[in-house]
Amino acid sequence: MIAGINRLDNTDHTINEVVKKPVILVVDDQPENIDVLSNILRDAYKVKAAINGEQALQIIQEKQAPDLILLDVMMPGIDGYEVCKKLKDNARSKSIPVIFVSALQNISDRVTAFAVGGVDYITKPVQSEEVLARVRAHVQIKMMQEQLEQSNEELEIRVKQRTLEVEAAYSELHESYRQILESEAKYRSLMDAAPDAVILADDGGHIEMVNQEASRLFGYSAEELNGKLIEILIPQDVKNHESFREEYINNSHSRGQLKNQRLCAIKKDGSEFPVDISLSPVKTKEGDKIIVDIRDISEREQLYTQLQQAQKMESIGHLTGGIAHDFNNMLASIMGFTELAISNCDHRHDEKLNEYLTEVMIAGERARELIAQMLSFSRRNNDREYAPLDASLLLKEVVSMIRPMLPSSIDINYNFEPDTPYINADPVQIHQILMNMCINARDALQGHGRVELNLKLVKFEKSICSSCHDSISGEYVVFEVTDNGTGIDESSIKNIFDPFFTTKEVGKGTGMGLSVVHGIVHDHNGHIVVKSDLGKGTIFNLLFPVN
C-alpha cells in the first residue's frame, strides 16, 4: 500500500497542478485495492489513502479535507457503514460525498449504504470507466452545491446590508426632521430632497403637506392630497392601519417614534404595493403633527422571493437527484434480470409469461425516461458551450414533427417575424422544450382546439419571470406557445415548475416536463412568462437573450 502511494506522490506534476486537483480519499484494508483505485484516479485527482476506518477519520481532520471518499464496507475495527455515520455526524465532513466500493452485492447492503448517508455504490471488481464517471459526477455535484451555497450567502448578505443602510439613513432623516420642521421653508426643501415619500399630517390623519417623492410614488399631485385623510393611500380592505394610527394617537402623552410597520398602500391608479411606515411626532405653533415616512419595499420583497425560490429549487434539485440515483440503481437490476428472464423463457410454452415480462420491460423503459428527466433537472450545467441558432428553422422542424402526433381535430399553426435575431443555444435542448410545450398544449385541449407557435423579438420592461420570480428588462427572442384549452388557475401557476407537480389526472403526467423547461431556459440565461385564463387557454412565453 505504501509503495503504491509513494508512486502516486512522485508523479511529475507542478505544485499548481496538484493544488488544483480535487482530493479523493480511498479507504480499504487491502493494499492491492488501494493501488487499483489510485491508478484509475491518479491522472485527474490527488489521491490519499487509509487502510482502516480509524485512519480515515484522522485524515478528515487534516487541513485539506478530501472532496470525495471511496469507502470499503468490510474492514477490521469499524466497518464502512459505521465510518460513514461518523462522517455525517461531523460538521467538518458531513457534506463530503461518500461512494461505497464493496464486493457485497445484496440489495440490503445497498439500502444500508444509502441509509447511512452514501451517495453511490460501486461493486467489486471495479471498472475504471464506471469509477471515473461516478467520481466525476459526484465531485461536480459537490462543486455546484458549494457554488450555489456561496451565491445564496452573498445574496443574503446583500439584502441585510441594504436593509441596514436604508434603516440607518432613515434614522438620520428622522433626527433631521425633528430639528428643522419648525421652519416651513426649511422642511419643505428637506422633504422634497428625501429619497422616500414623506407626508405631514395632523392628529386626525388629515394630510397637510407631501413631498415630491410622495406625489410620484402614489400618482397624486400635492393639491389632490392636501386636506384628505391619509386613509386615501390605504386599500379599503386593509384594516390594520386604523388600529396602528389610533394606538399611536391615544398614547400621545408618551409617544415617540414608531418605526417600520409593514402595511399595504394603494396608488391613484388602484395598484397595491407593500410599504414600511414610520411615524414621528412634531410640535409646531399650530399644534401636534405627525410625520409619516413611507418606504416602498417592493424591491426588497422581490429579493427575498428570489432567494426563497433559489433555495427551494436547490433543495428540490438535490432531492430529485438523490431519488433518481437510487431508482436508477434499482431499475438497472430489475431490467437486467427481466431481460435475462425473457431470454431464458420458452416462448412456445410460456407465451403468457413472455407477454408479462415484455410489459415489465416496457414499464422499465418509461421509468428510465422519467429518471433521465429527473437527472436533467438536478444536474443543471451553466458551463455548456452554445452556438448561434436560427430559431425560425428550428420552429419549422418542431411543427413538422409534432403535427403527425396531433389528432385531426387539433389545428397547429406557426408564425415568425422576418429577420428574428439568432440566439446562443443548444438546438437539441430547445427542440426538447418546444416539443414538451406542444405536448402539454395538446393535453390541455382534450382532443379539440388549436395550438399556435409564434417567434418574435420583444422588448420587456419590469416584467416578472413566472418560474424564478426575477425581474425582466430588455430585448428577448420569444417562443410563444398558445392554446385555447382548459387553462391553469392562478394558484397552480405558482407551482407548475416544481418537480412532480402536475395539473393532469393521475397516470397522465409525471410532473417533470415543465421542471425540465425551467432548467433549460434558465441555463440559457432566459426566463418564462405564463398567462392563463380558466376555460379560455394558456400562453407560455419562453424568453432567450439575443445573440
**Please, are residues 499 and 433 in contact by the beta-carbon 8 Å criterion?**
no
**Residue where a domain terminates, one of 240, 273, 296:** 296
Domain containing 494: what range?
Answer: 387-545
Decide if pLDDT at 317 tops 80. Answer: no
- 370 and 467 housed in the same domain: no
Q: What per-residue confidence (pLDDT) applies to 353?
A: 80
Domain count, the chain: 4
Mean pLDDT, residues 87-113 taken together:
90
- 400 and 537 housed in the same domain: yes
3-state class (DSSP) for residue 350: coil
- 312 and 276 housed in the same domain: no
Q: Which residue has the higher pLDDT, 271 or 510?
A: 271
Q: What per-residue confidence (pLDDT) applies to 545?
A: 92
Could you give the CA distance from residue 496 to residue 509 in angstroms, rounded to a whole number? 12
164 lies in some domain? no
Q: Which residue has the higher pLDDT, 373 or 341?
A: 341
Decide if pLDDT at 196 tops 50. Answer: yes
Percentage of residues of the chain with pLDDT beyond 70 = 76
449 lies in some domain? yes
- 398 and 541 housed in the same domain: yes
170 lies in some domain? no
19 lies in some domain? yes
Decide if pLDDT at 500 tops 60. Answer: no
**Residue where a domain terminates, one of 296, 331, 346:** 296
Decide if pLDDT at 211 tops 70. Answer: yes
What is the number of H-type helices and E-type strands within the chain?
17, 17
- 373 and 394 housed in the same domain: no
Placement of cell 447511512 in the chain:
116
474 phi and psi angles, rounded to 5 deg? 110, -175
pTM of the entire predicted model: 0.39
**Residue where a domain terminates, one of 265, 296, 327:** 296
Cis amide bond preceding 125, omega within 30: yes
- 246 and 332 housed in the same domain: no
- 255 and 231 housed in the same domain: yes
Model confidence band, residue 453 (pLDDT cutoffs 50, 70, 90): very high
124 lies in some domain? yes
- 52 and 119 housed in the same domain: yes
321 lies in some domain? yes
**Cβ partners under 8 Å of residue 95, min gap 6:** 142, 145
What CATH number does the domain containing 479 carry?
A: 3.30.565.10
- 13 and 138 housed in the same domain: yes
